[in-house]
Amino acid sequence: MESLADLEKELNCLSGSLLLIGELDDKNFPIINNKKIKSVFYLDSNTDCFKEDDVETSDIALNMHLRDLHKYFKDGVDNIYCNFDEIENHIPAFVRESLRITKKNIYLVFNNKKDYKKIEKKYKRYNLNCNLYSFDKCNIAIVEANDIIIHSFKELRYYIVDNIERIYDYISDNI
> pTM for the whole thing?
0.83
Q: Which amino acid is at 88?
A: E
Nearest alpha carbon to residue 11 among 148, 111, 133, 147: 133
Q: Which amino acid is at 170?
A: Y
Q: How far apart are CA 99 and CA 109, in angstroms?
A: 17
User: Torsion angle, CA of 25/29/34/36, rounded to 10 degrees?
Assistant: -130
Beta bridge partners of 39: 17, 56
Which domains are seen in the chain, by residue range? 4-173 (3.40.50)
Specify burial of residue 140 (Cβ count, 10 A radius: 0-12, 13-18, 19+): buried
Question: Tens of pLDDT along the chain (175 residues)?
Answer: 666 677 777 777 788 888 888 877 766 676 666 677 888 888 765 545 555 545 555 656 555 677 777 788 888 888 888 888 888 888 888 888 888 888 889 999 888 888 888 888 888 988 888 988 887 777 888 999 887 878 888 888 988 998 898 899 889 988 8
Q: 3-class DSSP state for residue 45?
A: coil
